[in-house]
Amino acid sequence: MILSKEHEMIRKVAREFAETEFTREVLDETEETGIFPQNVLEKMARVGFLGVKIPKQYGGQGGDNLAYILVMEEISRVSAVAGVYVSMVNSLSSGPLMLAGSEEQLDKYLAPAARGEKKICFALTEPGAGSDAGGIQTTAVHDGDDFIINGTKCFITAAKISDYAIVYTKTDPEKGIRGISAFIVDLKLPGVSFGKAEHKMGIIGCPTGDLIFEDVRVSASDMLGKQGKGWTNAMKTLDVGRMGIGAQSLGVAQGCLDESVKYAKERKQFGKPIASFQAISFMLADMATKVAASRELVYNAAALKDAGREDPNAASIAKYFASEACNEVAAMAVQIHGGYGYIREYPVERKYRDCRVFTIYEGTSQVQQMVIAGNLLK
Catalytic residues: 362
Strand 192-194 vs strand 223-224: parallel, antiparallel, or unpaired?
A: unpaired
Residue partners of 319: CB distance under 8 A and separation at least 6: 242, 243, 245, 246, 249, 362, 363, 368
Strand 120-123 vs strand 164-170: parallel, antiparallel, or unpaired?
A: parallel
Classified as helix, coil or strand, 146 is strand
Q: d(Cα 212, Cα 151) in Å, to the nearest integer?
A: 6
Neighbour tally for 209: CB within 10 Å: 20
Q: What is the DSSP letter of 92?
A: I
Could you tell me which of 101, 70, 71, 105 has the C-alpha nearest to residue 85?
71
Do residues 229 and 100 touch, judged by C-beta distance below 8 A?
yes
Could you tell me which of 158, 322, 312 has the C-alpha nearest to residue 238?
312
Do residues 351 and 333 touch, judged by C-beta distance below 8 A?
yes
CA angle 245/246/247 to nearest 5° reads: 90
Q: What is the DSSP letter of 176?
A: G
Q: What are the Cα distances from residue 370, in Å, to 47, 273, 360?
A: 38, 44, 14
Sort residue 322 into left (φ over 0), alpha (ψ -120 to 50) or beta.
alpha
Q: d(Cα 109, Cα 278) in Å, to the nearest integer?
A: 55
Do residues 189 and 218 touch, judged by C-beta distance below 8 A?
yes
Could you tell me which of 318, 313, 309 has the C-alpha nearest to residue 373?
313
Alpha-carbon torsion (72, 75, 78, 81), positive or negative:
negative
